[in-house]
Amino acid sequence: MTSSHPGSAGITYAAAGVDVEAGDRAVELMKDAIKATHNDSVIGGVGGFAGLFDASALRSYQRPLLATSTDGVGTKVAIAQAMDIHHTIGQDLVGMVVDDIVVVGAKPLFMTDYIACGKVVPERIADIVRGIAEGCSLADTALVGGETAEHPGLLGEHDYDIAGAATGAVEADALLGPERVREGDAVIAMASSGIHSNGYSLVRSVINHAGWALERDVPEFGRTLGEELLVPTRIYTADCLDLMDQLNTGSTMALHGFSHVTGGGLAANLARVLPQGLMASVDRSTWSLPAVFTLISELGGVPQSDIERTLNLGVGMIAIVDGASADAAVTRLNERGVPSWVAGTVGTVTDEAAGAGVDFVQGAKGVDGGAVLMHGNYAS
């Protein structure tokens, strides 16, 4: 048994690796960015034990349904850490969370975040949270709380990971889902801003195997490889809600569903929001692969079937609308700055399609839903 020498200082929390004062400084640096996301429904300020949100507006709903989602950004944080660029990763987090909520037609109301790190560097934490706040502003969602946890000995000094959760609301009669999708519906593709926040384990493996440095200038990108890989996730929430307002008025429900293209790729995520017996036929020739996807595919010799199951390949969100409203939907989205196009149609599953091998996906991610047939070649 040992004991400290008389007069010794002993072991402090700071000596154990946790700097409480650094955490306080980080909060001071991020407060203004967080407050900028607040509206009249947010009760109290920054620093409370719980974030408070006035839900009085739900009284106007006939039958309000709450929607919730939680997510992180995966190994994209490794690129941010290697580049020492931390102000964009927060937008990725928001996009991954709120755009899952809008898929059911819900408006995200508020969000919270969690950052675990090996060492609190106030400026770095503030950069991350500013990015989260900017993403929340794009989605018109209040950032009502969060937590930063210092984990010395568990995470390296420069390591961190982030996660978030959000809650939204939708009127029951306006809920979107597979039961609304009909034969003859159009599949509207909305362009992604890049890789977004899925598949970075594959991406990092490819560039590491090829020996490419993140600082390498890539002419096709007009910037460095690392800068391209850190392009933040496009947030579609406001555009999707606007499209609902335009197409679903009164008793008319021309917008039937959305699909957020995340892990699993386009086909697997689209199949989740289709009913059994129906199939979306998606024509690859309706769009060209953005340069970053072509580079990853060619640099790593990644089979097309594998890269389609891993990355979004240029489509980050899909809307399923009545065929007669397809042109109006595309026009509206393009007017709002979201490049969009008709990428396919919804029909019935055929024996020929079901025999198409890897181009045919039926049910995905635990959902025994519809099917998707990918056909044609990507435009050059």
- In this predicted model, what pLDDT tens digit does every residue of 287-337 receive, in sequence order? 999 999 999 999 999 999 999 999 999 999 999 999 999 999 999 999 999
Q: Residue 230: which pLDDT band, with cuts at 50, 70 and 90?
A: very high
Res 2: pLDDT: 47
Q: Could you report the per-residue pLDDT of 47-85, keeping only the tens digit for each?
A: 778 888 889 999 999 999 999 999 999 999 999 999 999
Q: What structural domains and CATH numbers belong to the chain?
A: 17-172 (3.30.1330.10), 176-373 (3.90.650.10)
As a whole number of angstroms, the distance between CA 249 and CA 246 comes to 7
Is the pTM for the entire model greater than 0.85?
yes
**Residue 271 in 3-state DSSP?**
helix
Q: In the chain, which ranges are E strands?
A: 42-43, 52-53, 64-72, 107-117, 142-150, 160-171, 186-191, 217-218, 223-224, 248-249, 252-253, 255-260, 278-283, 315-321, 340-348, 360-364, 367-375
As a whole number of angstroms, the distance between CA 125 and CA 148 comes to 8
- In degrees to the nearest 10, what's the CA dihedral of 3, 119, 25, 71? -130
Mean pLDDT of the chain: 92
Report the candidate in 87, 99, 196 with the shortest Cα–Cα distance to residue 140.
Answer: 99
**Residue 108 in 3-state DSSP?**
strand
Interval 15-40 mean pLDDT: 73
3 near 107, Cβ under 8 Å?
no
Q: Residue 20: which pLDDT band, with cuts at 50, 70 and 90?
A: low
As a whole number of angstroms, the distance between CA 156 and CA 94 comes to 25
As a whole number of angstroms, the distance between CA 31 and CA 105 comes to 31
Q: Residue 1: which pLDDT band, with cuts at 50, 70 and 90?
A: very low
Dihedrals phi, psi of 258, to nearest 5 degrees: -130, 160
Res 12: pLDDT: 60
Pairing assessment for the beta strands 107-117 and 142-150 based on DSSP bridges: parallel
Report the candidate in 257, 243, 266, 248 with the shortest Cα–Cα distance to residue 185.
Answer: 257
69 near 111, Cβ under 8 Å?
no
Interval 136-156 mean pLDDT: 92
CA distances from 317 to 227, 233, 335, 339 (A): 23, 11, 16, 11
